[in-house]
Each structure stands twice: as C-alpha cells, then as structure tokens.
Chains A and B, each alone.
Chain A
Amino acid sequence: MNRLFFALPLVVAAIIGAFALWGLSNGRDPGAIPSALISQPVPEFTLDPIEGVPTPGLATADLKGQGLTLVNVFASWCGPCRAEHPVLTRMSEQQGLRLVGINYKDRPEAAADWLEELGNPYALIGADFTGRAGIEWGVTGVPETFIVNNAGIVVHRFPGPVVGDGQRRFQQALDTAKAAQ
C-alpha cells in the first residue's frame, strides 16, 4: 500500500503524458475552439481607419442591419493572411458578401503598402494597433474570420487561413449562416 502511494505521481504523470501524446499524434487543430462569442452580439468597439488608407474605420454599429458580414482579422506581418487574401476577395465578390477588416497590431504604413500590393476588398477597416479590439473579439492569432449576421450576432468564428480544406469548412459554415438568414 505504502509503495503504491509512492508510485502515484508516476501514474498521474504517465496518464497526462498519454493524453499529450494523443494530442500531438492525430493531427488535431487546437485552434479550433468555438468562440465564447458565438450567438452573442458583436462586442463593443470603435476603431479608427488606417492612417493613409481611404477606407473608413470600423465600429460595432457598422455590423448591424447590414446583411451577412465577414469580419477578417489580418496583419501585414502575417504570412497566412497573404495566402487567404485572394480567396476572401474572390469569395466576397462572387457571393456578394460584405467583407470588413480589423488590422491587428500593424504599422499603418506597412498595412497601407500591403493593401496597395494585394488589393483592398474591404468595405471598412478598423486599425487595432494596440490589440484591444482583438481582446474584445477573443482573437488568439491572425488570421481569424468571423461571420456576423444581419442582427449583429456572431454566428461563426474561423481561426486560421481560409485556404484549401479551411476554405471548404469555411464555406460550409457560411452556407449554414446564409440558410439561417
């Protein structure tokens, strides 16, 4: 009995280790946590436009009564954002979706160059230099894309780039949101 007691830490550590091994081995995506914002109204925030970019800024009120809106969190320093940019551009054009952006912790001139280079598909862009709005939205990394419905309710959070298999999954979520509209 006494000996078993001393072996207890070993057993607990081995169990934790087994879970960790499982966590690494089956190709799961730990980022795929549903947001606490789902089915909640868009958080309160007000963001200025990016300095040097003519697109107006973004605030909570801009996401109500405007139909289905995609809120894309991006930054010029983020590689995957570059990859998903043409996909989102095409998606919003072909499906007539309103696309707005939150420029996360970026330098204005870098963001302006980035939009200049790749094109600017966003109707509105809020510059979140301090990352405060990112906290309100529960952003864990860039890129992230939220689907907001006509009533200003967040219906889906998609972490990671909308490309490849991600694009398929994002389209599914988008179709569900359209059907519910």
Chain B
Amino acid sequence: MIPELGQFALALALMAALVQSVLPIWGAARGNTVWMASGQATAVVQAVLLIFAFGALMHAYIVSDFTVLNVVENSHSLKPMIYKVAGTWGNHEGSLLLWVLILAVFGAAVAVMASNIPMALKARTLSVQAWISVGFLSFMILTSNPFERVFPPPLDGNDLNPLLQDFGLAIHPPLLYIGYVGFSIVFSFAVAALIEGRVDPAWARWVRPWTLAAWMALTGGIALGSWWAYYELGWGGWWFWDPVENVSFMPWLAGTALLHSAIVTEKRDTFKAWTILLAILTFSLSLLGTFIVRSGLLTSVHAFAVDPERGVYILGLLGVSILGSLALFAWRAPAMEGGGLFAPISREAGLLINNLLIATATATVLFGTLYPLFLEAITGDKISVGPPFFNAAFIPITLPLIIVMGIGPHLSWKRADLPGVLARLKWLGVIVLVATLVAAWFAEGGPLLAVISMGIAFWLIGATAQDWARRAKLLEPGAWARIKRQPRASHGMSMAHLGLGVLMMGAIGASAWKSDTVSFAEPGTVVPIAGFEVEFVEVNQVRGPNYIAQIATLNVTKDGDFVTQLFPERRVYPVAGSTTTESDIRQTLAGDLYVSITEPASDRAEGLWTLRLIYEPLVNFLWLGSVMLVLGGALSLSDRRLRVGAPRRAAPVHATPAE
C-alpha cells in the first residue's frame, strides 16, 4: 500500500509542477498577482509530496519490502540498517528521486524564504524551476519508476555488494546532489532574468546566497569523495581524473567563476551577460554530470547500470534545457551590457582574468573528458585520456590564476594603483622566494614544477594574509573592533583563498614527493622510506574477540632517533572465514606514513611478509584546505547583507569599499 501511495505522490507532484510551470509565469506576463502567488503554494506542495514519496521508498528499504522491484535489486535482508537506508539512493531510480526531491526543496525554499524578491521575478523563477521538475519527474515516471512491484516476490534481495557498503558512499552522493541541484535555482534565476530582460546589482545579490550554498555543498561533496577514496579504499591516491570525478569538478569550476563574476555584477553593475552565461553553464555542466553517469556514454569506475533508452531520454531533456536556455541567451543577452567602466588595472580586471582562466580550465577538463567520444566519432579510434593530459593541460592554466589570485584582493575597484600594490607586495615576494628555497632544500630537490608550484601556493597564502592584515590594520590599536566591523563576506574570501593555498600545498606535496615501496620482510629487515628507516621487528599472534590477529611491530626511526612504533595487523575471522588487513598510519601534518602487511602468496617467499610502505607528504593539508574553503563559504553566507536582504531595486547600490 505504501509504495502505491508513494507512486501516487509522484504523479501528484508532476501535476503540481505542470501547474507551476505555466501559471506563475503567465501571471507575471499579465500582471495577475493571484496567478503569480500560486507558484509559492505549488512549490511547497511539490516538495511535501516528494518528501512523502522519498519516505515511502525509504520505508520499503527499511522493512525490506521485496514486493518492490527496486528493493529486490538493490538490497538484502542481511544488510546493516544504515546501508539499507543508504540503499534508497544507491541506485538509478532512487538517486533520481533524491535529485528531484532536492530540486523541489530548493524551489520551496525560494518560495518561502526569499521574501524580498519582486513578485514577478520570483514567479518566473519558480516557473522555470518547475520546467526542470516536469522534465525529470516525467522521466522518472515514464522510464524509471522506483515503486514498480514484482510478483511473485522473491525470498530475499539480490544485492550484498561489499563495494557499496561503506559509510562514505552513503553520504557522499547526497552532498554532491545538493551541490548539483542547488545550481538549478541560480539557473532558474538567470533564465527568469533573461525573460524579464533585466539584470542589475539587486539581482546579483538575490542570487548570491543560493550560489554560495550550492558551491559549499559541492566543495564538501567532492572533498569527501576524495577523502574516502584515499583513506577507506586505500587506492593510494585522492584524485584520478576519472570522467565521473571530472563531471563533478566542472560545475565546481564554473560555479567558482560564477561566484566571482556575480560580485562584479553586484558591485559594479557590469559583466551581466557573462554572469548569466555562467549561471546557465554551471547548471548545464551539473546536468551533464547526471547524464554521463547514467547513460554509459563514457566508461568509468563509477557508472550506474547502462540503459541506452534512458540515455536518449535524458539527452533529450538536456537538449531542451541547455540549448533552450542558451538560445534565449543568444537572443536576449546582447541588449544587456553596459554598466560601470573600469581601467585595465582594477579589481574588475583582476576578476575578469580570474574568470577567463577558470573558464579555460573548465573547457580543458570538458574537452579532455569528451575527447574519447569526439575522436571515436571522427576516426573510429578508441582511446582513454588519463592523468598525463590533465596534468599537462590543467596545471599551466591554474598557476597564473593563483598568482593573480594573490594580487586581486589588493586592487581597488575601477582604477587600481598597480605600482603601489606591487611595492606593497615586494617584501612578501622576497619572503616567499626564500621560503620556497628553504622548502626545496628540506625536500632535497624534487621536480622543478613542483617547487615552483609550491612557491606559488606560499605566495597565495602570504598575499591573502597580508591583505587581511592590511584591512584590519592589525598592528594599530582597535584592530579587533575593525575585524568585527568588517563584512563577514570579506573574511570569508580571505578564509577561502587561504584554504585554496593550503589545499594546493597538500596536492603538490602528495603528488610530487610521494614515495611507495613494496618489499618482502622478515624480522630484522630495515626498509628506508622518505628519510625514515622502518625496521620490521617481530610478528605476534593475538587473540581478539572473534578473530586471531597477527600483529607486526615496526620501529620507525629517523637518522637513528626513535620516531614511533606502528602495528599493522592481519586478522583472520575463523567463523566468518575471512581475513582483513588493518593498516596503521602515522598521521602528522607533515605527512602520512602508511604501513600494511600481507602474507606473500608466492611459495618462494616462505616465512616472509609483504610489507607495503607509503609516505604521502602534506596530504592532510588537502582536507584542511577543503574545510577552510567550505568555512569561507559559510562565513560569506552569514554576511549581514545576505541575511537582511538586498535593497529595493529602485534604490541606488553603493559600492562597499572592502570586499
């Protein structure tokens, strides 16, 4: 009964979306306030219905209702409860339902929370949001019904796939989805503005909190996925340039560009068409992500079950929404430019360079991801594009970006004094150069590109810190009061920029100076790694509650001085008949020393152990930097201007001096 109610709720939600896709926008065109206001009601109704439908599906998973096909295919009565719950969105149909649910919740949030937005713009935005809802709800009901019944019901479900039973996997997709789908609101705002033919600073300010929220969720989702791959899967890496990673990275890059270009629209009333285009592209890339994962268009370790029929339907949806919005852009945007003029050296110009470089980086990743498809279509050759291409193409674009990023916040709006700024930064330049040389000396050389990149990361951190200290006049009395008085958005910017510098240090350290050895060891064997000497002392057998463990004792020394002892284990569970390898990690800010032991399979290595040692320098800076990025976003989001709301449209917008 409950699954049928869930399906009924889906159908009703589609009805509500259909009404919402027509009535409010028509009302906005004809000035009918009742029709416009109807959008708020239908948006809330839609969200409530979809929450119910999602709850119904989750219920079917929790009670293991094997009359529902989706549960049969993706669950098992013996699964731990948390993975039964997570199973709700761990498959095509369920994840699509989650996608539509988040879409509707964002729509309802705009309907309820955004009370300062003019009625017509809000009505149009809600209608555009409903167009997306109609597309995906109909797709779900027609091709991917999560509530389909099966008769006769089987005794138990099919899936106990150990791959999918992981906590990281349970929470990483919903976060990514909030990010992807969050950009739908920005998209709807952009399309509504194009229909209205009006983009101004007030518009940019209304859109900003939604962009920030989506960007934070996407940042968190990507970082979590990477963390999970590194620690839980033991893949020995944190980023693989896999197509599915790329399709989450592209909306992140475009969304980052959008955040920055919207600032210029807000403060200086320019970059309008560009901001609108970025809003459309960011969501288009999110849609592309959803599409690529589900269609089997590209190969990846992450792909869902492939069904070309569904692929064509999603492609049709994408075609209508992306091409439609871009056609609208081509038609309406040319009339939009104008606004504040600026000199070639100014904050605006800095942000323009930022945007051009991020856009180029996004295009590079897009090209690399789709290149196998292009090549196969034209020449029939099948290739896969791997990390070498992305590293070679992506890094040269990002390094100048980071250099400019350090200078940008020092520039003032309209016309900046570049010689003055450079004079201010010259001592920093000297300090960064010395610090880089010292770091290179400590690391005993390394690839030149890595040393230069590290220097650029130092530069970003130093320049950001100096900018923050200068604004707060840190050395003069009353600094604390000044810090508190400054808009939180400007602290957020400093925090996020620092975070990126820290993240960059982690990325460079863990890629360029990583060491990895596998060797056969017996008591007394000493293996050197990354300046440490790891001595394999002994193996002891220890009885655990339900397992027998063989625990190796490893003495780690550096230049003869004792550092630590590590105890990697190998556990045998006699009842379950399984073995597990429990690695041990010495986690410090300087780097992770990761050790694991296994019994070698080869007969020639009788009595020996396979000892795997990995040293990942600075890898924890990655997670620290990611947290700082999200925190920076949160600080910006909590800014008073966004909480209190923007001024009315007619009022002139004053440029705030510091940002």
Contacts and interface: CB of A to CB of B under 8 A. Distances in A.
A69 to B, nearest CB: 16
A21 B314 CA distance: 11
B579 A108 contact: yes
Interface string B228-244: 00000111100000000
Interface in A65-115: 77, 105-110, 112
A56 interface: yes
Given A9-B326, A13-B323, A28 B376 contact: yes
B315 interface: yes
A34 interface: yes
Contacts of B333: 6
Nearest to A24: B311
B159 interface: yes
A61 B603 CA distance: 11
A36 B389 CA distance: 14
A13 B604 CA distance: 58
A141 B299 CA distance: 9
B373 A7 contact: no
Contact of A132 (B163, B234, B377): B234
Contacts of A10: 323, 326-327, 329-330
Given A28-B376, A33-B372, A77 B159 contact: yes
A31 B377 contact: no
A77 B604 CA distance: 33
B281 A51 contact: no
Given A14-B323, A30-B298, A126-B601, A19 B386 contact: no
Interface string B287-314: 0000100011111110100001001100
Interface stretch (A40-48, A145-153, A162-170, A171-179): A40-48
B577 A51 contact: yes
A31 to B, nearest CB: 5
Given A33-B383, A51-B578, A135-B236, A19 B374 contact: yes
A13 B315 contact: no
Given A36-B384, A110-B160, A140-B299, A19 B577 contact: no
Contacts of A13: 284, 322-323, 326
A23 B233 contact: no
Contacts of B601: 46-49, 56-59, 126
A109 B315 contact: no
B28 interface: no
Contacts of A51: 572, 577-579
A46 B598 contact: yes
B319 to A, nearest CB: 5
Contact of A32 (B273, B329, B382): B382
Contacts, number: 139
B610 interface: yes
Contact of B386 (A36, A59, A135): A36
B345 to A, nearest CB: 25
Contact of B373 (A23, A32, A49): A23
Given A17-B319, A46-B600, A57-B601, A105 B578 contact: no
A123 interface: no
Nearest to B318: A17
Contacts of A22: 377
A2 interface: yes
Give the size category of A's interface with B. Answer: 35 or more
Contacts of B373: 19-20, 23
B323 A19 contact: no
A34 B380 CA distance: 13
Contacts of B376: 23, 28
B518 interface: yes
A34 B382 CA distance: 7
Contact of B162 (A2, A47, A105): A105
A77 B296 CA distance: 20
A118 interface: no
Nearest to A110: B160
Contacts of B233: 130-131
A128 to B, nearest CB: 11
A130 B234 contact: yes
Given A24-B312, A52-B577, A131-B233, A6 B323 contact: no
Contacts of A14: 323
A23 B308 CA distance: 10
A65 to B, nearest CB: 14
Given A32-B382, A51-B578, A112-B577, A24 B322 contact: no
Given A51-B579, A109-B576, A131 B235 contact: yes
Contact of A44 (B281, B383, B518, B604): B518
B386 A9 contact: no
Interface in B272-293: 273, 277, 280-281, 284, 291
Interface string B560-590: 0000000000001000111111000000000
Interface in B537-578: 572, 576-578
Contacts of B291: 20
Contacts of A52: 577
30 contacts: A7-B330, A9-B277, A10-B327, A13-B322, A17-B323, A19-B377, A20-B291, A20-B297, A20-B373, A23-B377, A27-B308, A31-B299, A48-B598, A51-B578, A56-B601, A56-B603, A58-B601, A59-B601, A59-B602, A61-B604, A77-B160, A77-B161, A77-B163, A105-B163, A107-B578, A109-B578, A126-B601, A130-B581, A132-B236, A141-B299
Interface of A: 2-3, 6-7, 9-10, 13-14, 16-17, 19-25, 27-28, 30-34, 36, 44, 46-49, 51-52, 56-59, 61-62, 77, 105-110, 112, 126, 129-132, 135, 140-141
Interface of B: 159-163, 233-236, 273, 277, 280-281, 284, 291, 295-301, 303, 308, 311-312, 315, 318-319, 322-323, 326-327, 329-330, 333-334, 370, 372-374, 376-377, 382-384, 386, 518, 572, 576-581, 598-604, 610
Given A20-B315, A21-B315, A48-B601, 6 more contacts: A7-B330, A10-B323, A19-B370, A61-B602, A77-B161, A109-B577
The 10 closest A-B pairs by CB, nearest first: A57-B601, A7-B330, A10-B326, A77-B161, A52-B577, A108-B578, A24-B311, A33-B384, A59-B602, A30-B299
